[in-house]
Amino acid sequence: MPNKHLVFSSDKIGEGELGAKVVVGFLNSLSAVSPDLLPKQIIFLNRGVLLSTQNSHIDNTQALQALQNLEKLGVEILSCQTCVDHFGAQVAVGRLTSAPEVLETLLSSHNAISF
């Protein structure tokens, strides 16, 4: 799998209700791309962790399903531990990560895309 990474720092792409729909659409669409285009990892920071966790802040049922599908395809799902703790959430897909690991990953990445 290529050394590509996606970074989500929000639970939306854009704003409001539309932004919440767009992020789910992107995550679902990722499952349909060619395996050689899939990112190695998806990293969730700040409010982005609300997409990958059990939490009381948003309804993320569709996002969790999309992330589970991506994980089955070999995409590693990482959520910032500090952010998860801040929101009082629990990881539902993937695993916790730390700032040093995220920095090392992104600095060694050939391609990172931020949402």
Domain map (residue ranges) of the chain:
4-114
One-letter amino acid at 24 equals V
- What is this structure's pTM? 0.94
Angstrom distance (rounded) from CA 15 to CA 42: 21
pLDDT-derived band of residue 101, with 50, 70 and 90 as boundaries?
A: very high
pLDDT at 2 over 70: no
What stretches of 48-109 show up as alpha helix (H) in DSSP?
61-72, 81-86, 99-107
CATH superfamily for 4-114 is: DsrEFH-like (3.40.1260.10)
User: Residue 88 — very low, low, confident or very high, per pLDDT cuts 50/70/90?
Assistant: very high
Residue type, 96: L
Determine the distance from the C-alpha atom of residue 95 to the mean position of all C-alpha atoms in its chain, rounded to a whole number. Answer: 11
pLDDT at 61 over 90: yes
Asked if residue 47 has pLDDT above 70, the reply is: yes
Predicted local distance difference test score (pLDDT) of residue 90:
97
**How does strand 4-8 pair with strand 53-54?**
unpaired
DSSP one-letter code for 55: -
